[in-house]
Amino acid sequence: MKRMTLCRFHNVVLTTLVVSIVSSATFAAENEKSGPKSKPASEMANGAELFGREWIPGDSRSHGGDGLGPLFNDSSCVACHNQGGNGGAGPRSKNVDIITAF
């Protein structure tokens, strides 16, 4: 009886494993066919403009906003995220320590 239960358990595990592998392979093949979705050039240009924009208080382009706000370290995203190109890491001087434990 114990041997039968063990065989049944192995069958369930094996079946689950096979179904998982087949479904993963199918999902991967479907995604590979469609390829990555690229954004239109206009959206990319708008994003680059926003990322590099110098945010200043009272800016007419901010649509009622007032710059980046109090949670940010500089007046533009690219001012901190510039190592290795726009969007990269920033220099150590721009890091923020929120909590320090001794």
61-84 confidence digits (pLDDT tens): 777 666 666 667 778 888 888 887
**Distance, CA of 90 to CA of 102 (rounded, Å):** 25
Residue span of the structural domain in which 26 resides? 1-31
Q: Is there a domain that residue 98 lies in?
A: no
Residue 1 has pLDDT above 60, yes or no: no
Q: Is there a domain that residue 17 lies in?
A: yes
Q: Is there a domain that residue 11 lies in?
A: yes
How many domains does the structure of the chain reveal? 2
Q: Is there a domain that residue 99 lies in?
A: no
pTM: 0.43
Tens of pLDDT, residue by residue over 8-67, are 888 888 899 888 888 888 877 776 666 566 778 888 888 888 888 887 777 777 776 666
- Left if phi > 0, otherwise alpha if psi is -120 to 50, otherwise beta: which for 87? left
- Return the structure tokens found at 38: 């690229």
Q: Are 53 and 61 in contact (CB under 8 A)?
A: yes
Q: Are 73 and 94 in contact (CB under 8 A)?
A: yes
Q: Is there a domain that residue 15 lies in?
A: yes
